């Protein structure tokens, strides 16, 4: 059995509200990037629920049942629930819901409070909830004074496409109608949100979504809420610096201490004579790590001038973090 399980839900067809166009496309995008890591190794085992025209294939009951199946496994290490469809706004009389095909004015669908309650009592250590629907912030925004969100237990994280009082918009991606939020998450999972080791966490996804949605305007902003000791890894992509190079960070080749300033000289720069192939190879790796924000020159504006003028280079705070990770190795990749 997979240790990572996902339930991906997309609803275009509704009985009592206007249909949507992009939700099935959203699910297809998410399944593509969640089922496998970039190197084709298996990642999440994806259970897909999509609507059909003229049929109530996703009802309140069926969605609740599939969620129970997802969240009631003692063998699963990480469970991910993704929903794309209509969301209902919380009012004085009704709580926010994920609208199902059989939903109506008085009982729109699965209540967001119920969803959070299910995640909180799940035996699965890490539960990730991602919602691309209007008013989805009701699931994670304590500023909703009508129905304040419940507290999260340790290991649960939520990311939503919009605030509790905002719509979640559709747009176009690769010639198809999709949710704007989902298209950003898709590109982020394809590698845009990966750190230098190739790891993508839920926080990386939020950072990417927050930046890109803020560029498009202030009418849709995502929410991220979590109670975790560690950030859940969602996908792995190709490292921006080869892991074999990163593994050597805490060594005499690079930095014997995390606060070490490595002396440089003109011998490190290939344009200078006499040539020193060994130092040139080291400098090439240092420059690569500098471009990724791991290394910076000391007493010079650029790495080139640090070498030419016999200055030094050092690890940035981010580089020191990766240096510490290198001590324990990158075996999980």
What is the bridge-based pairing of β-strands 78-84 and 4-10?
parallel
The whole-number pLDDT of residue 149 equals 52
Backbone angles phi, psi at 213, to 5 degrees: -70, -30
The C-alpha angle 112, 115, 120, rounded to 5 degrees, equals 125
Distances (CA, A) of 53 to 3, 17, 110, 116, 263: 33, 13, 20, 29, 68
Distance CA 302, CA 213 (A): 33
The whole-number pLDDT of residue 145 equals 45
- State the pTM of this model: 0.89
Classify each residue of 74-110 as buried b or exposed e, where b means 16 or more C-beta atoms within 10 Å of its C-beta: eebebbbbbbbbbbbbbeeebbbbbbbbbbeeeebbb
Sole residue written with tokens 């606060």 = 259
The C-alpha angle 173, 174, 177, rounded to 5 degrees, equals 45
Distance CA 183, CA 215 (A): 15
The whole-number pLDDT of residue 222 equals 86
Q: What is the pLDDT along the chain (333 residues), one digit of tens a residue?
A: 679 999 999 999 998 889 999 999 999 999 999 999 999 999 999 999 999 888 889 999 999 999 999 999 889 999 999 999 998 887 766 778 899 999 888 889 999 989 999 999 999 999 999 999 987 777 765 444 444 555 889 999 999 988 777 778 888 888 999 999 999 999 999 999 999 999 999 999 999 888 887 766 566 788 888 888 888 899 999 999 999 999 999 999 999 999 999 999 999 999 888 899 999 999 999 999 999 999 999 999 999 999 999 999 999 999 999 999 999 887 554
User: What domains does the chain contain, in order, with CATH numbers?
Assistant: 4-236 (3.40.50.1460), 243-328 (no CATH)
Element (H, E) at 112: helix 112-121
The whole-number pLDDT of residue 221 equals 81
Cα atoms found within 13 Å of the Cα of residue 49, Cβ hemisphere only: 25
Distance CA 194, CA 189 (A): 7
The whole-number pLDDT of residue 260 equals 97
């Amino acid at each position: 059995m997979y240790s990572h399980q996902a339930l991906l839900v997309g609803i275009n067809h509704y009985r009592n509200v206007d249909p949507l166009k992009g939700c099935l496309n959203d699910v297809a995008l998410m399944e593509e990037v969640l089922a496998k890591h970039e190197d084709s190794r298996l990642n999440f085992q994806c259970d897909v629920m999509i609507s059909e025209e003229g049929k109530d294939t996703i009802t309140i009951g069926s969605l609740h049942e599939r969620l129970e199946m997802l969240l009631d496994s003692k063998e699963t290490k990480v469970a991910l629930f993704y929903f794309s469809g209509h969301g209902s706004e919380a009012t004085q009389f009704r709580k926010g819901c994920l609208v199902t095909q059989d939903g109506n004015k008085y009982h729109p669908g699965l209540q967001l409070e119920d969803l959070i309650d299910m995640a909180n009592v799940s035996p699965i250590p890490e539960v990730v909830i991602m919602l691309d629907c209007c008013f989805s912030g009701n699931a994670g925004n304590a500023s909703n004074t009508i129905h304040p969100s419940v507290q999260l237990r340790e290991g649960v994280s939520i990311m939503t496409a919009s605030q509790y009082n905002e719509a979640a918009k559709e747009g176009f991606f690769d010639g198809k109608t999709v949710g704007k939020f989902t298209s950003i998450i898709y590109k982020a999972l394809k590698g845009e949100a990966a750190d230098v080791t190739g790891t993508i966490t839920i926080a990386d996804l939020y950072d990417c979504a927050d930046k890109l949605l803020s560029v498009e305007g202030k009418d849709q902003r995502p929410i991220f809420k979590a109670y975790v000791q560690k950030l859940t890894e969602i996908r792995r992509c190709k490292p921006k610096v080869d892991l074999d190079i990163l593994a050597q960070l805490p060594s005499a080749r690079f930095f014997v201490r995390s606060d070490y300033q490595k002396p440089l000289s003109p011998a490190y720069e290939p344009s200078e004579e006499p040539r020193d192939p060994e130092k040139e190879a080291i400098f090439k790796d240092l420059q690569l790590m500098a471009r990724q924000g791991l290394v910076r020159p000391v007493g010079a504006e650029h790495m080139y001038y640090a070498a030419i003028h016999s200055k030094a280079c050092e690890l940035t705070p981010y580089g020191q973090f990766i240096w510490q990770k290198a001590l324990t190795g990158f075996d999980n990749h």
